[in-house]
A and B are shown apart, each in its own frame.
Chain A
């Protein structure tokens, strides 16, 4: 429909890219997407096959490095345990990550909008950003006990700064000329935020969220290492004590999938909230 409309109308305007909105699932696109999905999967299989061959050929003991044939079935064997651990870990990661968003984005807006506040607080922000948060983990156990709370707070602390710093950059990165236009429209402070600042900052905010979501998984695992009796990190900790290396690798498989899922949730939110950045193949 769009293509038709283009031909009738905008074709009259010079330099109009003719019919540049091909339907998303045109045949050529299906092929492209197929290749994009299939290629990395194929590469993964080749890697696993090589791994299998090398481990078997060199007779590496199972407790040092298990072959895929050893640890992949371990995922199935330990499924109930891993599945409930995934819930625990996933919940802690998501709660810590969301809490970081709730605190960091409004603070970023405050720092970006008010000069005095920025001058006062930003040096402190830099200071706390430099403190290695993971080193504080044992202290959190002392303060909050060996429980979910400690894990979530550690995750929160790791996610907080990348979101804060990126969002602040985003809220401040506005073209002066762009503001000329909104000022001439008589825009209020709120309107300027709602129609200009917020969307201008979104790409920066999401850059921060992408960094933070990876750190969220790191934070949860370290938190569980230090003081927890549940979750995927705890299973790794417990398995390493009894040299159950296959279970560690099975756990890593699940953990990687969890990390990917969380990452794609952020990517999905980005796709939803920034329709203007969607890349529709236009050169067919």
Chain B
């Protein structure tokens, strides 16, 4: 199953039953219960997101896939407790979200590293804010950056890093504290096509080997969603509405490019056809 790779974790194809890993418990479940979002634009209420019901199991990797303007980023902010829903509620690990969730790692498309801290200090900040002594936080951060292949760039400021390196640092910052879930909003959206494939691969490996917990991944790339997810949730746009949930029943680790696996390619084709029927591509 692990295709000869040297890993600590025990992988499983049986979705929903998370493998054990270094990170211990499989993370938290997320219940999105009739959550919607409206906002006032001038004197009119616009609907960004129609009521959505979605359950993410502990340790599951779920992608929310949709065209721009489908409210998928809004959905993520509501799950993180950073934006209050207009209706409905989000329940994480059995508790309703009413304020910013802190047992979480967040990655945005924009890396959002602090420009005045070096890569290592950006990653260490996550731990420092949570009370870890500075020296220990930095040691942990360095070990993590090393594993992610950017240890040599640890002392550079974000300005001095390439796009891929910045995103690696942002990802390291999101899970150095081993949070119960990871929220990622188009984390590779600003990267070139080649870096993107590479980062997807690294993320899967990281998730399998180091951090086997709940991931909610927002993307507009069909290939990315299929390549990474246990389940893909498809939204339509204006206003955002959940149209389909697709379970991607393909063992991991998966090939670099989805075309290599007929099953993955099939899922991808299916989603494109769905988008076609929804009129996402115009007439």
Listed in ascending order, the chain A residues whose CB lies under 8 Å from chain B are 5-6, 8-10, 12-17, 20-21, 175, 177-178, 180-187, 191, 195-196, 199-200, 202, 274, 276, 282
Contact = CB atoms under 8 A, between A and B. Distances in A.
Nearest to A277: B116
Nearest to A6: B152
A187 B129 contact: yes
B162 A17 contact: yes
A62 B129 CA distance: 68
A184 B112 contact: no
A184 B101 contact: yes
Given A5-B152, A13-B165, A195-B129, A184 B80 contact: yes
Interface stretch (B50-58, B153-161, B237-245): B153-161
B185 to A, nearest CB: 10
Given A13-B168, A187-B129, A177 B110 contact: yes
Interface residues of B, number: 37
A185 B162 contact: no
In the complex, which of the residues B80, B104, B114, B128 has the most CB atoms of chain A within 10 Å of its own CB atom?
B114
A184 B101 CA distance: 6
Interface string B131-161: 0000000000000000001111100010110
Contact of B112 (A13, A20, A178): A178
A15 to B, nearest CB: 4
B153 A13 contact: yes
B165 A181 contact: no
Interface string B94-127: 0000001110111010101011110000000110
A276 B113 CA distance: 13
Contacts, number: 93
A183 B160 contact: no
Interface in B170-212: 194-195, 198
A15 B199 CA distance: 13
Contacts of A16: 153, 162, 165
Contact of B150 (A10, A187, A199, A200): A10
B258 interface: no
B125 A180 contact: no
B108 A202 contact: no
A184 B102 contact: yes
A174 to B, nearest CB: 11
A55 to B, nearest CB: 50
Nearest to A191: B129
Nearest to A202: B116
Contact of A183 (B82, B128, B162): B82
A187 B150 CA distance: 27
A185 B164 contact: no
Contact of A180 (B80, B114, B165): B80
7 contacts: A14-B195, A15-B163, A15-B195, A16-B153, A17-B160, A199-B114, A202-B116
